[in-house]
Structure formats: structure tokens, C-alpha cells
Amino acid sequence: MKMILKGGRLIDPKNNIDQIAQLVIESDKITKISTESISSNGIEVLDVSGMIISPGFIDLHVHLRDPGQEYKEDIRSGTEAAAAGGFTSVCCMPNTKPVNDNEAVTHYILEKARKEGLVNVLPAGAITKGSRGEELAEIGKLKEAGCVALTDDGWPVMNSEMMRRSLEYAKTFDLVVMPHCEDRHLSEGGVMNEGRTSTEMGLRGIPCQAEEVMISRDILLAQLTESRIHFAHISSEGGVRLIRDAKKRGISVTAETCPHYFTLTDEATLGYNTNAKMNPPLRSIKDREAVKQGLKDGTLDAISTDHAPHSPDEKEQEFDKAPFGIIGLETVLPLALALVQEGMITLSQMITLLTVNPAKILKIKKGSLEAGSIADLTIFDPNEEWVVDATRFKSKSRNSPFNGWKMKGRVKFTIVSGKVVYRG
């Protein structure tokens, strides 16, 4: 199997490449990149003129809901959604039913992904048994089974001593720990950001400090243990500032944010819109701008989606009762491109946030376009305009706050190991 991509603008930030070039794929690998014309006799040609060829996007934070809640999403539908969004690899969170805190669950996920998955599925294992924050999970076994990171996502490890030991122990296996930062006492009963909007709507608020208190603690613990921490889904100005300061002081931390935090504010919840209910919650304008700034200056290393599918029945409830979370795999590209269009970040920065940096954080050999590497590619048209129609999502769920939005920029091809898995 041989294929040539012709006419595209190739952007590979890791190797400092940004040029119109042709790319040859043989079997599952990139075999040649050339600015000279390549004879295409008898070879499949993909004309990608006017499009951008990027290393395949890597999502550090998705919920595939499989095993246990397949009515929301499963590995098949979740990876189809990922492919449609331009992702060639996704790191799936362990808050499945049962929790991915032992190698049997990891094996199940990897086996099902091998059979049914369209993109690479990289499981994150739980830090603690049942993600209860009380006892270490069998981290060594999780690593051996194929987990690439550790997190109790959805739950903070509230006990500082437990968190310290987790970091120390995870270090032996060179696994990054990705905490969900939330002081559960400060956030108790909260359903949205605390501020003017929550006051007006009469909803219990979650202050930014619920996130910031835990980021502070975990920075201190990263310093103490000299372990690697990657902060998931940063939403607040204070959170960005704390991480920026920690990096300046040479502490080994990285962080991600999600498109909704740099696009929306808590006013999206007005009208009790449960498709704007997530955890951490959408914040104020000042937080949104700080998050953008964090992406611009490199404080935030990656854009993840925190793709969190829920069925319409679950979301069509009283705001207090509806579950937290929104889907995001299929809308990330245009939302990230909007930052490029407004001049906040460059195209190359955007691609770095979606490819090189996530690969570095997980320590996987992906995120660049060298000859000889596995052909995981995302090809998109940065100018195509379209209107989001949630009913056409590949995801099983529809809980997107962006339904009906006019977007600019669309994924045209997603290629995983040399195979086209999505055509837009």
C-alpha cells in the first residue's frame, strides 16, 4: 500500500517545518517528504491542495465510557468521534464502570480498541483503588498492561499524604500523574462557577479557589517528590498564574486546558443550559482571557477536550441534577483555530498544543512527521465554514454547547498508521 499526499502545506513544529510538500506513505509509515515532485505512477494520490497536513492530534483527556456506560459512548463510537475531530490518539480516563484500576480493565480497553477502535487508544489508569483516594492502585501492573498515565479524574486525591505517596510511587514507573484539581469541601454542592451569574440564577457556585487550592498543593508536592505532574483541564486565572510561577521556579509541571474554557464563560449557563454544565465550571471573562494568555505564553502546554458524553435524558433535567460534562472531540479544531484567527497563537503553536506537547507529556513517540515514523496525520482545511449539527456527530451523545454554532476550519482526512479513518 502506497499513497502520496499532494499539494498540502505541511506543518511539523517539532522539526521546524512549514512548507508545501509531498508526503509518501508506505504501509503504516511515512517514507518520504519532498518538495520536489514525486512520480505518482500507479500510486494512490490524495490531493490535499489548500489544506494543512499536521501530525495527528493527540487528546490527553477523553471519556470513552467503555466499559460500563456504553449507552453514552463506547470505544467504537468514541474513536469515530475522535477521528472525525482529527485525533489519531486519545488518552481515555479511568472513571469507567468498573474503574480502570487493575490490568484486567486495561486489557479489556486495549483489546476492544484493537478490534473496534479507529484511532490509537491510550488508557490512563487510576491512581488509587476505585479512585477513592485511599489506597494506591497496582500502578506497576497498570503500566505493564499498557497504561500511559495515572489519574483519578473526576475525583481529587483529597488526602495530601496519599497524593505524596502516589507521586513517589508513580515515579518508579515514569508515569505522569494528571490530577483533577478540586477541593471537594470548597466545591461541595456547587454546580457552576461562583460569581454574578450563579448569584442571579440562584445556583450553588464553585469558586475558582477550589481548583487553585489543589493546584497549589500539588505544585508543592511535585517539588517535594520531584515527580512529573500534568494538570488536567485548567479553567481559572489563578490556576494559570500558579502554574506559570511553578514553571519559572523549575518545578516539573505541565498543564492543559480545553476549548470551552478559552471560548465560553459562565454566562453560557443562562437559561439553565445543562450543556454548559461541566467540572471545573465555565468561569468569568477574566479567567477565559487568562487561559488564552496561558496558551499563548506556553504556561498551558496542551489543548485537550475533556470529551464527556452523557445521554440526552441525563442532560434534560433540572440543572442541579444533570451530570457534569460536555462532548468536544468533533469541535476542537475550529475552536482552536479561532485563537489563531484572532492572532492569539500561531498555527504552528496550535499544532504544538495538539500534537508535540501531548506526546511529550505522555512520553510517546508521536507528534511529528519524520520519515520513518508511523503515519498518524491530520489534514484540515483552515478556511472551510460549517455549522455544527449535533445530530450528525459520530459520538453517541449530543451534549455540546456549540450546537448550531458557525465554525471555520474543518478536518478533511484523519490517517492512522497509514490508513484513512475519516474523510470529511
Partner 1 sequence: MILKRKDLIALKELQKEEIELLLDTAVSFKEVATRDIKKVPALRGKTLINLFFEPSTRTRTSFELAGKRLSADVINISHSSSSAVKGESLLDTAKNLEAMNADLIVLRHPCSGSPYLLSRHLKSSIINAGDGAHEHPTQGLLDLYTIREKLGRIAGLKVAIVGDITHSRVARSNIAGLSKMGASVRVVGPPTMIPAEIEKSGVTVFHELREGIRDVDVILMLRLQLERQGKGLFPSIREYSELFGLNKENLKWANKSVLVMHPGPVNRGVEISPEIADGLSSVILDQVTNGVAVRMAVLFLLSGAST
Closest C-alpha among 302, 304, 293 to residue 361: 302
**Grid coordinates given for 157:** 486525591
Q: What is the dihedral of CA 225, 230, 234, 240, to 10 degrees?
A: 60
- Which of residues 134 and 320 has its CB atom nearest to partner 1 in the complex? 320
Applying CB under 8 A, the residues found at the interface with partner 1 are 194-196, 198-205, 207, 271-272, 313, 316-321
User: Minimum Å distance from CB 207 to partner 1?
Assistant: 8
Convert residues 112-151 into a mask of x (bound to Zn ion by CB under 5 A) and - (unbound). ----------------------------------------
Kindly determine how many residues on this chain lie close enough to bind Zn ion according to the rule CB under 5 A. 2
- Residue 153 binding result from Zn ion, partner 1, none, given CB thresholds of 5 to 8 Å by partner type: Zn ion
Beta bridge partners of 20: 9
9-12 and 29-34 as β-strands: parallel, antiparallel, unpaired? unpaired
* Count, residues in the chain: 424
Cα 347 to Cα 337: distance, rounded to the nearest angstrom: 8
Cβ 278 to partner 1, closest distance in Å? Answer: 17
Helix-then-strand count for the chain, H and E: 14, 20
Closer to partner 1 by CB, 108 or 319: give it.
319
Q: Who contacts 282 (Cβ-Cβ below 8 Å, separation ≥6)?
A: 192, 193, 235, 260, 261, 264, 265, 266, 268, 269, 276
Among 9, 112, 180, 292, binds Zn ion (CB under 5 A): 180
CB of 302 or CB of 322, closer to partner 1: 322
What does the block give as the cell for 297? 505564553
With CB under 5 to 8 Å by kind, the binding choice for 342 among partner 1, Zn ion, none is none
Residues 6+ apart with CB under 8 A from 132: 155
Q: Which is nearer to partner 1, 120 or 197 (CB)?
A: 197
Q: Which stretch binds Zn ion (CB under 5 A): 117-125, 178-186, 238-246, 292-300?
A: 178-186
Q: CA 109, CA 98: separation in Å to the nearest integer?
A: 11
Residue 75 CB, nearest approach to Zn ion (Å): 20
Q: Is 374 helix (H, G, I), strand (E, B) or coil?
A: strand
Output the smallest distance, CB 318 to partner 1, in A.
4
Residue number with CB closer to partner 1 (205 or 367)? 205
Which one of partner 1, Zn ion, none interacts with residue 203, CB within 5 to 8 A by kind?
partner 1
Residue 39 to residue 407: CA distance in whole angstroms: 37
The residues in 145-174 that bind Zn ion, with binding defined as CB under 5 A, are 153
381 is catalytic: no
Among 153, 306, 376, 381, the active-site one is: 306
Q: What are the catalytic residues? A: 306
